[in-house]
Chains A and B, each alone.
Chain A
Amino acid sequence: MYRIETIHSKESYKVKRHTLGMPLKNFKAEIEPYLYLLPAASIFIAFTFYPFFKTIYISLFMTGPQGGLSKFIGLKNYFDLLASPDFLNSLYVTFEFVLLTVPFSIIISLVLAIFANLDIKGKSVFRTFYALPISISSASAAVIWTLLFNPSIGFINYLLSFFGIPAIGWLTDVKWGIVAVSIVTIWLNLGMNFIFLLGGLQNIPKDLYESAQIDGANVFLQHVKITIPMLSPTLFFVTVVDIINAFQQFGVINIMTQGGPVDSTNVIVYSIYRDAFFNFRFGVASAESIILFVILLILTVLQFKTGERRVFYR
């Protein structure tokens, strides 16, 4: 998959080693590359690989309140979870959240990218504005939007009142909680999606549009016939990134709804947090983490397998 090219080719390396001659230097040259890898490798081993396998291990145990492993129970945590209505609800809510956020944030970002790609004076200012949400944290966004969604003094309900829509209890109504956290997540995603999609648009040759114009295709048709197919590798990439991000959204939900009302925003990540750090059920929470990992892995592999056929490569 990844071919590693070396500037310092094997031949010249061997020649140099040979001229050095002495066994000690030989040994030093041998271990030198590993020394460069050591800092990154130790961090990965200590804080990614080791905890990953440890999480799998913990998930096979019943755990005490301090996180101590009390009894080996095999896959029981997994079976219990898959039979638990709460966890199935979390799975459902997570998929609902993905469906509510990913398509909308991609469509909106695409519109932004198309307008920011048109050749006008001052376009770089608009580009800065559209990319800007990338610098905002989920915590600050959640705090600002909590006020925007405030049922009595918030601006959203005020705007809706112009259309005759009665006040919505965004964060207290079971129907609307998930919509509210989705809106904030869509807004947060816009910056990153915009950057990727604008980059993709800039790679489409301009003459394609010119010949379509000569053929009499209007702007909308040009985008359907040229932009979408030519952009499909980028759209595909952005979709994968957004789905993975949606599965990992925690800050917005923790600040705005704490999984509520009535568990309607209790996504898997939030449920892991609650089980591990409030209920101290580390074994169960570890099993949830591993299920989340497996879902993300399957999604990524599936996306890469099925995506390829529909994607238009130049």
Chain B
Amino acid sequence: MRKSIRILIVYIVNVILAGIILFPLIYALMISLMKPEDIFQYPPKIIPTSLYLGNYVEALKSVPILRFILNSFIVSSVVTVGQIVTASLAAYAFTYYDFKGKNLIFLMFLSTMMIPGEATIIANYLTIRSLNWIDTYKALIIPNLGTALGIFLMRQFFLTIPKDYYEAAAIDGATKFQFFVKVLLPLSRPAIGSLAIYSFLMTWNQYMWPLLVTNRDEMRTVQIGISMLQMAESQSFGLIMAGVIMIIIPSLVAFIVGQKQLIEGLSAGALKG
């Protein structure tokens, strides 16, 4: 009896906590489905009187949201693949080779985590501008391709793979590169999954860098696009919320599909990092 009351209390508390945490998102969704006259009522309404999709139609007309989503997809996907390539190559050198300066190079790579983006953003902006890369995908992608955390995660995972695999591949006559591509990478799918979901979310949600290196509407990414929509339609709250919902959905889907990998990757980085 006492135990079941305790469980009931735990449920109630969890439901309340979840309600508070999710409230801003539910609120945005509800407002996005309301007619303007519902939104401006007092006391404020939470549930729309009828399902109204007009805000979504209007938001798509107001700013090129689909173009922003396409841009963010291109940039985030290429950065994700690129980070996996550069990180796993570097991690391979750090785990399967001995060479001069290995410890020093590893420490230098890790030290990039200590240099915040703000300490490099002005010089990077000047570089991008002098290369005439403003308003290009190159500017949005290339500076993001290195990841010390990714190298660390991949190396950590490579170390757990028994060296029997390496010896077996060597006996079969595989070169070191063949072993890397055909044996090690397929075995490392969990770590690659963690890095992929992390990179994708981080790039999708980037704000300051794309704000600086893009000017033309057709090169803007979703995060800049949403603030443009907010400025263009400052009083059309339903329309703004419809825009927010549209740009949140891809990152929410990525999170829900990849949450297990994300959590494992973050914990591995935290516990050993």
Of the residues B96, B205, B230, contact of A6 by C-beta under 8 Å: B96
Of the residues A47, A139, A152, A158, contact of B143 by C-beta under 8 Å: A47
Interface, chain A (partner B; CB < 8 A):
1-2, 4-10, 13, 30, 32-34, 36-37, 39-41, 43-44, 46-52, 54-55, 58, 67, 111-112, 115-116, 118, 120, 126, 128-148, 150, 152-155, 158, 187, 190, 192, 195-196, 199, 234, 237, 244, 247-248, 250-251, 254-255, 268-269, 272-273, 276-277, 282, 285-286, 289-290, 292-293, 296-297, 300
Given contacts A30-B99, A36-B92, A47-B120, 4 further A-B contacts (CB under 8 A): A48-B120, A153-B237, A187-B24, A277-B212
* Interface flag for B57 (CB, 8 Å): no
Evaluate contact between A116 and B89: CB separation under 8 angstroms. Answer: no
**Residues from chain B with Cβ under 8 Å of A269 in the complex:** 118
**Given that A37-B90, A44-B109, A139-B226 are known contacts, is A289 also in contact with B122, CB under 8 Å in the complex?**
yes
Evaluate contact between A55 and B119: CB separation under 8 angstroms. Answer: yes
Evaluate contact between A120 and B42: CB separation under 8 angstroms. Answer: no
Evaluate contact between A135 and B21: CB separation under 8 angstroms. Answer: no
Evaluate contact between A248 and B10: CB separation under 8 angstroms. Answer: no
Interface string of B40-62 (1 = CB under 8 A from A): 10111010000000000000000
* Interface flag for B183 (CB, 8 Å): no
**Given that A36-B89, A116-B14, A129-B22 are known contacts, is A52 also in contact with B123, CB under 8 Å in the complex?**
yes
Evaluate contact between B7 and A120: CB separation under 8 angstroms. Answer: yes
Evaluate contact between B112 and A293: CB separation under 8 angstroms. Answer: no
Evaluate contact between A34 and B241: CB separation under 8 angstroms. Answer: no
Evaluate contact between A115 and B86: CB separation under 8 angstroms. Answer: no
A136 to B23, CA, bound (A): 13
| Distance between B2 CB and nearest chain A CB, rounded to angstroms | 13
Q: Which of B28, B118, B161, B212 has the most CB of A within 10 A?
A: B118
User: Which 10 residue pairs of A and B lie closest in terms of their CB atoms, listed nearest first?
Assistant: A51-B123, A43-B146, A135-B255, A137-B205, A33-B97, A36-B93, A251-B207, A51-B120, A139-B223, A54-B123
A/B interface sample: 22 pairs, CB < 8 A: A2-B110, A5-B95, A6-B95, A6-B98, A7-B163, A8-B98, A36-B97, A39-B86, A43-B146, A51-B120, A58-B123, A120-B7, A128-B256, A132-B252, A135-B255, A142-B227, A155-B44, A158-B43, A195-B263, A244-B116, A250-B208, A254-B227
* Interface flag for B103 (CB, 8 Å): yes
A109 to B246, CA, bound (A): 27
A265 to B93, CA, bound (A): 45
**Residues from chain B with Cβ under 8 Å of A131 in the complex:** 255, 259, 263
Q: How large is the interface on B (under 10, 10 to 19, 20 to 34, 35 or more residues)?
A: 35 or more
Of the residues A13, A37, A67, A115, contact of B13 by C-beta under 8 Å: A115
A58 to B124, CA, bound (A): 12
Q: Which residue of B lies closest to A244 (CB)?
A: B116
A8 to B120, CA, bound (A): 37
**Residues from chain B with Cβ under 8 Å of A48 in the complex:** 112, 115, 120, 146
Of the residues B43, B94, B116, B247, contact of A292 by C-beta under 8 Å: B116
**Given that A33-B93, A136-B248 are known contacts, is A51 also in contact with B24, CB under 8 Å in the complex?**
no
**Residues from chain B with Cβ under 8 Å of A154 in the complex:** 44
**Given that A36-B89, A289-B118 are known contacts, is A143 also in contact with B21, CB under 8 Å in the complex?**
no
Of the residues A8, A36, A132, A142, contact of B163 by C-beta under 8 Å: A8
A88 to B129, CA, bound (A): 31
Of the residues B21, B115, B119, B212, contact of A112 by C-beta under 8 Å: B21
Evaluate contact between B166 and A40: CB separation under 8 angstroms. Answer: no
Of the residues B17, B122, B201, contact of A286 by C-beta under 8 Å: B122
A43 to B112, CA, bound (A): 11
**Given that A6-B96, A137-B205 are known contacts, is A129 also in contact with B116, CB under 8 Å in the complex?**
no
A254 to B127, CA, bound (A): 24
| Distance between B41 CB and nearest chain A CB, rounded to angstroms | 8
